[in-house]
Structure 1
Amino acid sequence: MHVFIRWLPSLLWMAVIFYLSSRTGEDVGGWLDIVRRFVPMMEGFDWGHFAAYFILAWTYLWAWRPKRLSLGVKLAVILLCVLYGVTDEYHQSFVPGRTPDLKDIRNDAIGAALAMLLLYIPFVRRWYGRLSGAKYY
């Protein structure tokens, strides 16, 4: 049961991503336009994918709860996020008004990678260690 509880945030967040992928582009596009207005140089960058997979990476790490935050663990988390991103794009191919896009997978990977890169900052690493109950020195 303990393992299921650790994976519950990941499963719920994957369900949120699946739900948002089921919406047409018009349904989810409105609030992202506000972000693009404030950061015009990031016009082609999809902040929704970035944020969703940034969070997904943290939930995967929480579920996995490795004894050490090695490079291999971080790369595995990023790979899991990218693989889920590929299935997300495949799912979008069946939604009217949505199409699969390699740039979305790129943005998914950037979000997941940045989430894992933050663990190189000492206070983030300590914060995560306290939150997860694991020791990372």
Structure 2
Amino acid sequence: MKKHFPDISGLRFLPMVGILAAIFSSASVPGRTLFFLNLHHFDKILHATAYAALAASCIFAFRLQVNNARSRLRTSGQVAAMCLLCGVMEEFYQHFIPNRVMDRKDVFADMIGAMAVVAAWNIRAYLQRKE
């Protein structure tokens, strides 16, 4: 007997949307209410972690389209570009929030987190192909 399950591939985007919502809602908080923003390096760790999670959720959403090395490379570029665009938009948005400033170092930290996940995903695929 063949069981039919509903196609839930469209729901694969929900984690990505949730993480984006969390990133932009945390960017909406005025600077003085978040005491840890004064800790310079802790802020960068939070940026890298948030964008690593965003990159992982993007890979989760788009990985059904990956069936060879070329499509993996294209998807990696798309994920990196999306994370960069979101990071720049977040910093621009923070410019309008009281006691928050735009900082290109935050975008750099965002990309470090995102690229670490993209690199790990590609290395894992390479090692699996070698086996």
TM range (shorter): 0.7 to 0.9
Look up the match of 2:14. Answer: 8
1:76 to 75, 78, 94: 78
Amino acid at match of 1:59: S
Provide structure 2 residue ranges, at least 5 long, that are not aligned to the other structure. 1-6
RMSD of aligned Cα (Å): 2.6
Contact 1:45/1:107, CA 8 A, preserved across alignment: no
Look up the match of 2:91. Answer: 89
**4+ runs deviating over 6 angstroms:** none
1: CA distance, partners of 2:15 / 2:117: 16
Q: 1:114 to 1:32 in 2, by over 3 A?
A: farther
SS in 2 for 1:98: coil
What is the percent sequence identity of the aligned residues? 29
Alpha-carbon offset, residue 73 of structure 1 = 1.7
Contact 1:20/1:28, CA 8 A, preserved across alignment: no
SS in 1 for 2:34: helix
Number of corresponding residues? 118
Alpha-carbon offset, residue 72 of structure 1 = 2.5
Structure-2-length-normalised TM-score: 0.76
2: CA distance, partners of 1:84 / 1:45: 17
